[in-house]
Amino acid sequence: MNTLPDRIEKQAVLRAPIERVWEALSDSAQFGAWFKARFRGPFVAGSEVVGELAEPGHVGRLMVLAVETLDAPHLLSFRWRPHELEKPSDSWPASTLVEFRLEPHPEGTLLVITESGFEAIPESERADYVRGNSEGWEEQLGRIASYVSGTDRIEKTVSLQAPVERVWRALSVAEEFGQWFGLDAAGETFAAGRSAHMKIAEPADYAGRDFTIEVVALEPPRLFSFRWHPCALDPGVDYSSEPMTLVEFFLEPRDNGTLLTVTETGFDAIPAGRRATAFRMNEGGWAEQVQRIRRYVDA
C-alpha cells in the first residue's frame, strides 16, 4: 500500500533572536521579501490576505492566505490552497494548514515549519503535491535563514518617475543597462538562462576588464534577475568555482511611475577572504562611482 506522510515538517536553527524571526514571519512585507511575494495587506488573525507571487515562472500569480493564528513570538498559522495558482479555486475548496513555530535556542531561534491536511487534495494529485512542497519548504527555510542572518542580503526600494516600460528597457536591454551601470555592453543581449559578457567602462581604474552576468529570469515587465560574482575584478583570480550572489529587480507600476525593488542575496556563501577583497575594491571603487553621479547630477 502506498502511504504518504500526513504532514511535511522542516526545521532549522536560525542565527537571529526570536523577535527578529517573528518580525520576518508576522509582517506581511517581510514575509513576502523572503517568500518572494507581494501581499496587499497585513496578516491579521481571522482574515484573508491576497498575495502576488514574485517568483520566476510565477510572477503575478495570486494566492490567498487565510491567517488563523498570530501568537507573538511563537506561532503563525494560515490555510492556503496552493493549487489555486494553477486552477480556479472552486475546483478545490478545501485547504491545507501551514504552521511556523518558533522557540528560543542557544544559537538563536529554532523554527519548525509544518504543512498538514493533505486529505484536502484530490488523491490523484496528493503525492506530487507533497513531494513538491517538501522541496519547496526546504528552499523557503533556507531563504528565511538568509533573510534574518543580517549579513546575507541587501534590499533597496526606489520610486522612479518613469513608466514601467521605460524602466524595464533600462534594465533588460543590455546596452541601456550598461549605460547607467558603467559597462560596455555593445552587441550583447540578455536572455534567460544565458550568460552576458560585457566590459567595465566605469570606474576608469577597472575599464576594459571582463564583466559577466548569468541571466536567471527575464519576465517583462516585472522581473529581471541574474547571478554574478560580486566585485570579481582581479584578473589573476579564477572566480568560476565560487558561489555567486543573486540580484533581482522587481518592478511594480505606481501612479505614473514605477516602484523598483532590488535585492542582492547570497553574501553569506562568499568566502570570507573574498569579502575582504571585495571590500577593498569597494572602498576605492564605489567612492569613485559616487563622485561620477555627483558630477552627473550637478551638471
Partner 1 sequence: MPSAVADAAPIFAALGDETRLRLIARLGEGRPQSITALTVGEGVTRQAITKHLRVLETAGLIRGQRQGREQRWELQADRIDAAKTWLDDISKHWDAALERLRAFVEE
Q: Which residues bind partner 1 (CB under 8 A)?
A: 14-19, 104, 106-108, 149-151, 154, 156, 158, 160-162, 166-167, 170-171, 176, 179-182, 230, 260, 262, 264, 267-268, 272-273, 275-280, 282-283, 286, 289-290, 292-293, 296-297
Q: Which is nearer to partner 1, 195 or 277 (CB)?
A: 277
Q: Which residues pair with 246 in a beta bridge?
A: 227, 265
- For residue 64, the surrounding DSSP H or E stretch is strand 62-71
Least Cβ distance, residue 94 to partner 1 (angstroms)? 39
What phi-psi label fits residue 206: left (phi over 0), alpha (psi between -120 and 50 degrees) or beta? alpha
Least Cβ distance, residue 173 to partner 1 (angstroms)? 12
The residue assigned the cell 491567517 is: 67
Least Cβ distance, residue 121 to partner 1 (angstroms)? 37
Least Cβ distance, residue 225 to partner 1 (angstroms)? 15
Give the chain's end-to-end CA distance (angstroms, integer).
75
Closest CA to 97 of 75, 115, 71: 115
Q: Which is nearer to partner 1, 91 or 180 (CB)?
A: 180
Least Cβ distance, residue 128 to partner 1 (angstroms)? 37
Q: Say if residue 129 is exposed, middle or buried (CB neighbours under 10 Å; 0-12, 13-18, 19+).
A: buried
Least Cβ distance, residue 85 to partner 1 (angstroms)? 31
126-129: long-range contacts at Cβ-Cβ below 8 A with a sequence spacing of 24 or more?
126/4, 127/2, 127/4, 129/82, 129/83
Closest CA to 181 of 34, 190, 275, 219: 190
